Structure 1
Amino acid sequence: MTTNYRHLATLPTDPVKMYDWQAEVGPAHSGQETHQAMFTLVGDLIRDAIMPPEQGAALFRAVARIPGVKVVENVVDAAGRRGGAITRDDPDSPTRDEWFFDAKTFEFLGEHSAATEDYSNINKGRTGNKAILERAVVDRAGQRP
């Protein structure tokens, strides 16, 4: 799946159609259970792309329809910033993905993975943590903001 802005601008702006698009595309790119694949697809998009506003709004309205998605308030990201998170437990693995957002602006702040139980050599709790400190649009590839 491409994350080119022009391609993303062709995605649905209607939340129901966006949900259908996620249900079609998500599982095609992973071996995960359908709803987890949809959730993972959205996580990939919000991390790796800048969505056009109308498609971004439809994307999040569609995420709210995915079974098992929860909103958690008053969480702290890897940089110590407070906000909210959107989470979903993976039904095929003892893990949970969490995306952090600023409580006022809803700007994407980062993400983390968590083990929902002890397994293998991994203890229950955070297993990965990423904070986005800066995002920018530049005029050409390789240019720094």
Structure 2
Amino acid sequence: MYDWLRETAPKYSGQEPNQAMFVLVGDLIRDAMVPPGQSAALYRAVARIPGVRVVKNAVDGAGRHGVGIARQDPGNPTMEEWIFDAKTHAFLGEREVATGDLPKAGIKKGMVLGSASVLRRDVVDSAGQRP
């Protein structure tokens, strides 16, 4: 999985390769229901990406506390965090945090620049069916 991410991610992003890999995995876990085996492989690959770290008390946009997996974006003064429930490990959401001051934009270090929360996910039997 790591090799696939390393080869694939930069093709779809102008970011440096490690950041592109991190962003691609974030897109996959946010936008798709990834089967357990593939999820495990993705998370093992993410653990190998330089600069990835654990945030012990991250908070999603809905105010839920969890464990974050984060990486500083070397091309921007921001850090992306994926937030998981500390007990179930369910994906709760993500947020982007400023890692430096940008006075002209009114941004201070530590400010949450954006967040998204997963409140419900369901599987249906056919296209167009509502849960």
Deviation per residue, 1:116-142 (Å, 9 max, x gap): 112251513110011110001111223
Taking the aligned partners of 1:122 and 1:39, their CA distance within structure 2 comes to 27
| CA-CA distance at 1:80 after TM superposition | 1.6
What is the match of residue 138 of structure 1? Answer: 124
What is the match of residue 123 of structure 1? Answer: 107
Taking the aligned partners of 1:99 and 1:61, their CA distance within structure 2 comes to 15
What is the match of residue 99 of structure 1? Answer: 82
Over aligned residues, Cα RMSD in angstroms?
1.1
* TM-score w.r.t. length of structure 2: 0.93
| CA-CA distance at 1:106 after TM superposition | 0.5
Aligned amino acid, residue 123 of structure 1 = I
What is the match of residue 26 of structure 2? Answer: 43
Whether the aligned pair in 2 keeps the contact of 1:109 and 1:133 (CA below 8 Å) is: yes
Deviation per residue, 1:35-92 (Å, 9 max, x gap): 0000000000000111111111010011000000001112221112111000000001
Aligned amino acid, residue 64 of structure 1 = A
Taking the aligned partners of 1:54 and 1:131, their CA distance within structure 2 comes to 23
Across the two proteins, how many residue pairs are aligned to each other? 128
Taking the aligned partners of 1:40 and 1:122, their CA distance within structure 2 comes to 25
3-state secondary structure, aligned to 1:58: helix
- Is there any run of 5+ residues in structure 1 with no aligned partner, and where? 1-17
**Which segments of structure 1 move beyond 6 Å, counting only runs of 4 or more?**
none
Aligned amino acid, residue 33 of structure 1 = E
